Chains A and B, each alone.
Chain A
């Protein structure tokens, strides 16, 4: 059976001395990366009897984090990438929800959050210049889930019931996507890929495995550099990036604050973006700045990775108002459009790259997947229409999920978090998009009687419990949350208030 780690083994055999990774100027060859990941695999194997273990990766973007990912895969395990910036409670939830056997960190003090009551057995491992720390846990029970194909990774994404949910991917899910990318983005061993997205974000799958498959160089961009547009504009020039992939937010920041006009960016061949709408006026400016690059709008929820794509025709008209379509179905997948009772049309996706299912979450599985003529379909929740040219066009959501800087957010998860606050009687979270397609989240708060609530403190309360992108932009206190005649939260009314603010 073909596996993701075989991509690394093959590239190391074919181009042992080529550069595989570059992280802040620290470079490792394919041979070195292959050997390092094998050492990590051996350490994990010697500590775990279970053939299909799960290991959380709690490392900053680094050579070690890539080696750990391939080490876990080589040992037959499943990696669970964590957001090192996320609150501890969220990472605790994830590691306990999917019963990880290991958590891999950079030094053992980083891992104290894993189990605050019972300090886990941690061990530091040194590999030449590198050191990582592995905490070994004993999951209470095995879920007993039988999966016919080995799982490669589990990505956690916002869940409407108040807790994140784990999306499970097999090796063949990821490989079918990567092989499709090979045909469209023409990578070679001379290509230089950016790795901007953190590994817990699905955009990272393309960067990491497409680059390794083709023996190309992957430039790892750490968290600090990743949000500094001037450093990014410098990095594209310095490293000679040929394939860039990020959210439109980052490309907009480079355009507005990175002073890209002062840089030589002629190495860029492919500029890929996904996760949100790219405002056409900014795309116009960027495409003039990078005339030799081809621009692609990639679309797909985490569960399918990229499922439709659209190459932006050039030139981008200066006065274009409408966002570009999400385009045509990727060749390795099929799509169908489901008519909803509301009259809207929901996009559904089937095929080899669609995620296996959600981890241990029967409710979410039956809501989001269905079987038709023996084929499994994923309901994206995205409403679409078909343009005159036959392209799919994104219209909106059928539920209350929003996208902010490419991250998906279930507004219900924010509501659940605020509802647990002892001084809050009721809460409703609403969102609007600005003219620039940026999402602004507003939390409406009804305090308990006699409670004195400081709205500013609620920001801190959320920051301690939710990832930074889920903290509402505004907190508004209301005497009561508006209700419909059936006593449900009146979101239409709240949207009106949002627009008026």
Chain B
């Protein structure tokens, strides 16, 4: 699995599923998604589902939170830590 390509896939998924046009224009890997309420709680759950399936990892119940999900970079750090 080429890591850079997978990060792109994650970004594409987020853009496709959760962002509107103006949010997409301003979006980068450090854009806050959860704390800014761009993503609501249901979107967050869909994202968790996606990450678990796509990257073959599992969130513990206390890991489903902003520290691991607020930005693409945070998600990526979490995925990498789970893969180690």
Contact = CB atoms under 8 A, between A and B. Distances in A.
A256 B41 CA distance: 13
Contact of B45 (A234, A257, A456): A257
A441 to B, nearest CB: 14
Given A224-B65, A228-B61, A230-B64, A253 B22 contact: no
A212 interface: no
Contacts of B17: none
Contacts of B4: none
A238 B56 CA distance: 26
Nearest to A234: B61
Interface in A444-488: 454, 456-457, 463, 468
Nearest to B45: A257
A229 interface: yes
A230 B62 CA distance: 8
Given A224-B65, A227-B41, A257 B59 contact: no
Contact of A253 (B20, B37, B45, B65): B45
Contact of B61 (A233, A454, A463, A468): A233
A454 B61 CA distance: 38
A230 B20 CA distance: 28
Contacts of B45: 229, 253, 256-257
* Interface of chain B: mostly helix, strand, loop or mixed: helix
A338 interface: no
A231 interface: yes
Contacts of A253: 42, 45
A463 B20 contact: no
B46 to A, nearest CB: 8
Contacts of B60: 230
Interface in A183-233: 224, 227-231, 233
A365 B63 CA distance: 48
A227 B61 CA distance: 12
Contact of B23 (A231, A233, A456, A463): A456
A368 B49 CA distance: 45
B16 interface: no
B30 interface: no
Interface size class of B (residues with CB under 8 A): 10 to 19
A27 B40 CA distance: 31
Contact of B59 (A224, A227, A230, A454): A230
A457 B20 CA distance: 11
Given A456-B21, A456-B22, A228 B65 contact: yes
Nearest to A257: B45
Nearest to B42: A253
Contact of A454 (B22, B41, B62): B22
Interface string B15-33: 0000011110000000000
Interface string B34-68: 00010011100100110000000001111011000
A231 B62 contact: yes
Contacts of A233: 61
A60 B81 CA distance: 32
Contacts of A463: 37
A256 B64 CA distance: 15
Nearest to A463: B37
B14 to A, nearest CB: 16
Nearest to A229: B45
Interface string A239-260: 0000000000000010011000
Contacts of A228: 41, 61, 64-65
A393 B41 CA distance: 31
A231 B61 contact: yes
A76 B42 CA distance: 41
A468 B23 CA distance: 18
Contact of B37 (A224, A227, A456, A468): A468
Nearest to A228: B64
Contacts of A256: 45
Nearest to B20: A456
A246 B62 CA distance: 21
Given A227-B41, A228-B41, A230-B64, 6 more contacts: A224-B65, A230-B59, A231-B61, A231-B62, A231-B64, A457-B22
5 contacts: A227-B41, A228-B61, A233-B61, A234-B61, A456-B23
Interface of A: 224, 227-231, 233-234, 253, 256-257, 454, 456-457, 463, 468
> What are the 3 A-B residue pairs with the smallest beta carbon separation, nearest first?
A230-B61, A227-B41, A456-B22
